[in-house]
Amino acid sequence: MNIITPSTASAAGAPAWRAWIPLAALALFILAVLPLCLDLFRLNLVGKYLTYAFVAIGLVLCWGYGGILSLGQGVFFGLGGYAMAMFLKLEASDPESTKIQSTPGIPDFMDWNQITALPALWEPFHSLAFTLLAIVLVPGLMAFVIGVAMFKRRVGGVYFAIMTQAFAAMLSILIIGQQGYTGGVNGITDLKTLNGWDIRTDHAKYVLYFLNAGLLLASVALGQVLLKTKFGKLLLALRDKEERVRFSGYDVAAFKVFIFTLAAVLSAVGGAMFTLQVGFMSPSFVGIVPSIEMVIFTAVGGRLSLVGAVYGSLAVNFGKSYFSESFPQLWLFLMGGLFIAVVMLFPNGLAGLADSVRGAWQKWQARKAGQMTARGAPRTPAPPEDEPAAPTALRVKGGAA
Amino acid sequence: MSSARIVLAVDNLSVSFDGFKAVNDLNLYVEQNELRVVIGPNGAGKTTLLDLICGRTRATAGSIKFKDMELTRMPEYERVRRGIGRKFQTPSIYENLTVLENLEVSYPRGRTVFGSLFFRRDAAVMERVKEVAELIYLDERLDDAAELLSHGQKQWLEIGMLLMQDPELLMLDEPVAGMSVSEREKTAELLTRISSNRSVIVIEHDMEFVKRIAHRVTVLHQGKMLAEGSMDHVQADPRVIEVYLGH
């Protein structure tokens, strides 16, 4: 495997601040360049795409580094998004604006489904504090439980991926089936205010865009710090030699549970920001297809690059909106083709491509410099290799045990 | 040596895979600071024995006691934390990390999730890393990616990763397989040095090498102990010659 990782790439002794340049460039791009270049409609779209990037950076940590492929991150994105939507919906359903319903004061879709009282599950979502906690804790707890159940039993690889698919299918079927409680296939719509603050105004859209971008950048920074710790190195170690890590005294399952839970919480924050910026939440962001799309964003951006995953989310979604406007029937084929092309040609995605371009540039620079100064400067000699031992006469019947 | 403390006591140990008894009613006692070599033909159960001791395989019957602690129900990482280190047959190192990081990650502090998040590479860690790196002949290669090492160096690195944990019992599965003559020499020296203050179990086929390092030799055959004692004693045993050493 010739995967370039930050740890080996930085072994040459580059100063530590260099590792932060890509993040600074990303911050400049999404905090300054995009808001200055795009109109509010397009910027709001970017904001939406950046909420997917939360899922993508979670996948970089969990899949790229930890080797745990989850095809069900939509579950956590959806749980975060729904928790936010429930709060907003309750606020939008005050008795005054729902007085034409047969039961005023409850969300409209409940009234359409002959529900006459607010379900107990919805009650606590009157509180913003509870909602904010629920956005993080509900998906976190669910990921924790799934993680403990799977990883303690050493379910991994493809089997784990299939299980996460099953959870994504279950949650979306549950939401669609329980129309009276969840808004069904339409989702939760007509969201208006957050604690009295209208989220539909131009001003609010700008504020939410920057809040979202700030949270995303903070999450990327958190991820970078995490990967620099011993925990980060253990993740890489775990991906390549799980047995070695286990027999070095680590409870491997605990590490997997932690990173899977962290990825879930990040996804949930993205989901909540999605609801705020787009103004609704529906099961179409929960099920199998969106979950797989999110893996594609990560793969295109580069599954070993947190910053790359953000660009990947932007690039694929811009492509999606452009192509689905121009060639609506072809889009899905293009998306599939893109995924195959990335996996076959650039296994490390955009970030890997950037790395190899930079490597080629540095090589060219070095060669140019080398020609100008001493020709044939001494190269570091390769370590001497002994010839393998001749089989000893006493080496007995039957080689390896 | 008979008065020395028993570190590892394996009693009536058996494991069967679908009825096949890979290890069958085995007894084995390893003393403090002893270097024991386990030999035997293919399928004798040598690697399975190590798997049973470190927890990779669960025993069907019998007991494994390490310093009078029963191990058979203990999770793998707990056994490691009690002081048992295991080297696998093929070099099992983290190719994507540097030599230094490989050793650092094996340092027995910060072994929990949160411990590892707040782990700092302090002077004590670096001192231990340097000490071990010197011992395994890799002190010049600390900043190189582990994937760049030669096969023999990778074997040493894995031994070094275990030494970082300062285990009381170290188990090595064919540590010199695929090594050059000079690498074998160095490995023999290394093993002699590290067994001065810990017990070591080595599985090996190279009889010259076994002769050089072994304090005592155990011969396994079909999951059972065939003979045990000094190398000379074992080599003279007609049953051992029959099933293993050849005429």
Q: Write the CA distances from A269 to A147, A262, B26, B73, integer angstroms.
A: 19, 11, 56, 41
Residue A288 has pLDDT above 60, yes or no: yes
Burial A374-397 (b: 16+ CB within 10 A, else e): eeeeeeeeeeeeeeebeeeeeebe
Q: Choose the closest CB to B96 out of A7, A251, A252.
A: A7
Q: Which amino acid is at B50?
A: L
DSSP structure string for A59-89 = HIIIIIIT----S-HHHHHHHHHHHHHHHHH
In whole angstroms, give the CA distance from residue A355 to residue A313: 19
pLDDT for the residue A325: 82
Interface touch B150/A231, C-beta < 8 Å: no
Residue A370 has pLDDT above 60, yes or no: yes
pLDDT for the residue B157: 97
Interface touch B161/A248, C-beta < 8 Å: yes
Whether the Cβ atoms of residue A231 and residue B116 lie closer than 8 Å to each other? yes
Token couple for A100: 């034409």
How much is the average pLDDT of B34-63? Answer: 94
Lowest mean pLDDT among A41-50, A270-279, A361-370: A361-370
Note whether B247 contacts A: Cβ–Cβ < 8 A: no
Q: Choose the closest CB to A7 out of B47, B97, B113.
A: B97
Q: Which amino acid is at B220?
A: L
How much is the average pLDDT of B183-212? Answer: 93
Residue B107 has pLDDT above 70, yes or no: yes
Residue listed under structure tokens 């492929």: A69
Which among B111, B94, B112, B90 has a CA at the least distance from the CA of B103?
A: B94
Note whether B89 contacts A: Cβ–Cβ < 8 A: yes
User: In this structure, what is the dihedral angle of CA atoms B90, B95, B98, B100, given to the nearest 10 degrees?
Assistant: -30
% of chain A at pLDDT higher than 90: 73
Cβ atoms within 10 Å, residue A172: 24
Note whether A154 contacts B: Cβ–Cβ < 8 A: no
Q: How confident is the model at residue A366 (pLDDT cuts 50, 70, 90)?
A: confident
How much is the average pLDDT of A108-133? Answer: 95
pLDDT for the residue B1: 43
Q: How confident is the model at residue B11 (pLDDT cuts 50, 70, 90)?
A: very high
pLDDT for the residue A372: 65
Q: How confident is the model at residue B42 (pLDDT cuts 50, 70, 90)?
A: confident
Residue of B nearest to A236 (CA): B96
Digit-coded pLDDT (tens) for A316-346: 999 888 888 888 888 878 888 888 888 888 8
Lowest mean pLDDT among A226-230, A243-247, A360-364, B133-137: A360-364
How much is the average pLDDT of A162-174? Answer: 96
Interface touch B208/A394, C-beta < 8 Å: yes
User: In this structure, what is the dihedral angle of CA atoms A294, A296, A297, A299, given to the nearest 10 degrees?
Assistant: 130
In whole angstroms, give the CA distance from residue B227 to residue A276: 75
Whether the Cβ atoms of residue A281 and residue A290 lie closer than 8 Å to each other? no
In whole angstroms, give the CA distance from residue A340 to residue A209: 32
pLDDT for the residue B113: 95
Note whether A387 contacts B: Cβ–Cβ < 8 A: yes
Average pLDDT across chain B, whole number: 93
3-state secondary structure of A152: coil
Interface touch B113/A243, C-beta < 8 Å: no
Interface touch B178/A388, C-beta < 8 Å: yes
Interface touch A236/B94, C-beta < 8 Å: yes
CATH topology of domain B6-245: Rossmann fold (3.40.50)
How much is the average pLDDT of A93-103? Answer: 92
Label each residue of B69-133 as H, E or C.
EECCCCCHHHHHHHCEEEECCCCCCCCCCEHHHHHHHCCCCCCCHHHHHCCCCCHHHHHHHHHHH
In whole angstroms, give the CA distance from residue B229 to residue B247: 20
Q: Choose the closest CB to B101 out of A7, A243, A383.
A: A7
Residue A373 has pLDDT above 70, yes or no: no
Interface touch A400/B42, C-beta < 8 Å: yes
Residue B245 has pLDDT above 80, yes or no: no
In whole angstroms, give the CA distance from residue A138 to residue A126: 16
Give me the interface pTM, i.e. the ipTM. 0.92
Interface touch A388/B246, C-beta < 8 Å: no
Q: In B, which residues are within 8 Å of A238 by CB distance?
A: none
Q: Choose the closest CB to B207 out of A254, A258, A394.
A: A394
Angle at B10 between CA B7 and CA B14, to 5 degrees: 160
Note whether B242 contacts A: Cβ–Cβ < 8 A: no
Rg (CA), chain A: 25
pLDDT for the residue A14: 63
In whole angstroms, give the CA distance from residue A142 to residue A149: 11
Note whether B122 contacts A: Cβ–Cβ < 8 A: no
Q: Which amino acid is at A282?
A: S
Burial B4-31 (b: 16+ CB within 10 A, else e): eeebbebeebbbeeeeebbbbebebebb
Task: List all residues of chain A from 245 to 284 with a beta carbon under 8 Å from chain B.
Answer: 246-252, 254-255, 258
Q: Choose the closest CB to B94 out of A237, A246, A401.
A: A237
pLDDT for the residue A401: 34
Cβ atoms within 10 Å, residue A2: 9
What are the sequence ranges of the domains in chain B? 6-245
Token couple for A294: 């999110």
| Interaxial angle between packed helices A306-326 and A349-372, expressed in degrees from 0 to 180 and rounded to the nearest 10 | 120
Q: In B, which residues are within 8 Å of A154 by CB distance?
A: none
In whole angstroms, give the CA distance from residue A110 to residue A21: 50
Interface touch B86/A247, C-beta < 8 Å: yes
Interface touch B105/A1, C-beta < 8 Å: no
Interface touch B77/A251, C-beta < 8 Å: yes
Digit-coded pLDDT (tens) for A180-189: 999 999 999 9
Q: How confident is the model at residue A77 (pLDDT cuts 50, 70, 90)?
A: very high
Residue of A nearest to B183 (CA): A386
Interface touch B80/A395, C-beta < 8 Å: no
Cβ atoms within 10 Å, residue B217: 24
Q: In A, which residues are within 8 Å of B42 by CB distance?
A: 398-401
Note whether B204 contacts A: Cβ–Cβ < 8 A: no
How much is the average pLDDT of A90-116? Answer: 93
